[in-house]
Amino acid sequence: MIAQQESRYGCNLVREYQNRLFRAHRLLYNEPQGDKCLHYRRSKAPIGFFRCSDHSTLEVGMSGVLEGVKVVEVGHVVAIPAAASMMGDCGADVVKVEPLTGDQSRTFRGSEINPGFYLHNRSKRAIAVNLKEEAGKKIVHQMVENADVFLTNYRLEALAKLGIDYETLAQINPRLIYGIVTAYGTTGPDKDMPGYDFAAGWARSGIQYMLTVPGYPPPTSRPGIIDRVSSMQIFGGIAAALFHRERTGEGQKVEFNLYHTGVWMVGADIMDALMGVPLRITDPSKSDNPFYDTYQTKDGRWLQLTAGDRYAAASDPTGRAFWTKFTKALDRPDLAEDPRFGTTADRQAHRSELKPILEEEFRKRTYAEWETRLRENDLMYGPILSPLDVIEDPQALANDFFAEIEQPGVGKMRLINQPIRFVQDPGRVRSTVPALGEHTDQVLAELGYSPEEIRELREKNVVR
């Protein structure tokens, strides 16, 4: 394998890998860059490969913190594709492997345009391969030989049948970082159960139960919430495994499951259950803390109050300073002297009386007026915005939440940037969302297939 790479890129990859380890060690431990230190420059080799260089200086401004990492994604829908796109945004060379019919989420909305698919599949290349054919398995195995990371959320049984389970791929590349997402984990009575995040992460985890208003049906989730939280866990877990491999040379299987992610997300309530504390069920008709409730303003807008009364006990034991600021914002000095609400404990004890007073006060002024008053008194709150509001929110725009691309077949469109910002080497949307099989010929050529061999594979329905 090494000899084959040497002939292709004209460089000794053993020496290269040793040099990369040396460079990582120097950067990790802040060692000085002497004249004899090895330096690197970006090469013109295919994305994801490096060439050795005799350059005497280190060129800065790399295109991402994961430049040089090769990722093979055999995933579908949200969790794995989203994580792979985050890695692609950070400079990794991600190749998405789809069946000949494509990732099922390409047409989730009943048309060729599914907005979510564009969010989860930018910054990567795409090939279409029939993994049920031996020739298709061979292609993916060849990709894995030189890959750093393999990501999948296929079911365990399918992975074994297709020859892309961890045990098989680790034999091909012992240094491989293999990330897998399941619904419920890889062991236990339900390890083979299918499940999207609605069932595994939202319903079973306790989130849906805790958000159910007494007397009403349990609320449904928004699409892909737990999947996208999982994608950030996957990104972090894979990055940690790559760091471990850089120090030890060891590959790693990294497991994630949607059920556990949901449990982590609702961790405060799960900890209450573990410690025998009564569960705090959401009930809008019974305020648990008036300063953490929602209020409607005169112009029909809503805000979420998060003014920390009982959580400021260390600096404001009786809550006097907080209550003075709050009543000033309300323009209700009489409340500041009302004995029912004198201390934090008093306000909690009389919260059923306080809540309607606050509701009435908030209805007297517009949202803009309340925004001014709450800010002037350094009180925490948040506007309740619709997605249409969010995409034009000045704060979101100032922090570069969105990117604009020219997507073939769609035209100009905006995408959400990933929420992790590397200040010195920022991630960015690096390429548009690929069409099904758009890079099949390119990737196969990089693996050494001739145009005739590629044409034959296509005729045999192995690739598209």
Per-residue pLDDT of 99-117, as tens digits, reads 999 999 999 887 777 999 9
In percent, the amount of the chain with pLDDT more than 70 equals 85
Confidence check: pLDDT of 75 > 80: yes
pLDDT in the model for residue 326: 95
pLDDT in the model for residue 3: 39
C-alpha atoms less than 13 angstroms from C-alpha of 393 in its C-beta half-sphere: 16
Q: pLDDT by residue (tens digit) across 315-350?
A: 677 788 899 999 999 999 999 999 999 988 899 899
What b-and-e string marks burial along 130-152, b requiring 16 or more CB atoms within 10 Å of the CB?
bbebebbbebbbbbbebbbbbbb
Provide the CATH topology of domain 290-388: formyl-coa transferase, domain 3 (3.30.1540)
Provide the CATH topology of domain 70-266+406-459: Rossmann fold (3.40.50)
Confidence check: pLDDT of 24 > 80: no
pLDDT in the model for residue 314: 63
User: Who wins on pLDDT, 191 or 5?
Assistant: 191
pLDDT in the model for residue 315: 67
pLDDT band of residue 311 (cuts 50, 70, 90) is low
What b-and-e string marks burial along 217-231, b requiring 16 or more CB atoms within 10 Å of the CB?
eeeebeebbbbbbbb
Type of residue found at 458: R
Calpha distance 205→323 (Å, rounded)? 37
Q: pLDDT by residue (tens digit) across 406-458?
A: 999 899 999 999 999 999 998 899 999 999 999 999 999 999 999 999 999 99
Calpha distance 94→56 (Å, rounded)? 30
Confidence check: pLDDT of 44 > 90: no
Q: Where are the domains of the chain?
A: 1-60, 70-266+406-459, 290-388
Matching CATH topology for 70-266+406-459 and 290-388? Answer: no
- For the chain, the average pLDDT equals 87
pLDDT in the model for residue 51: 26
Least Cα distance to 261 among 334, 331, 349, 184 occurs for 184
Rounded mean pLDDT, 265-289: 92
pLDDT in the model for residue 310: 60
Confidence check: pLDDT of 263 > 50: yes
Q: Which of 33-47, 100-114, 363-377 shows the lowest mean pLDDT across its residues?
A: 33-47
pLDDT in the model for residue 313: 66
Angle between helices 225-248 and 13-28 (to 10 degrees): 100
| Under 8 Å between Cβ of 346 and 339 | yes
Rounded mean pLDDT, 181-189: 98
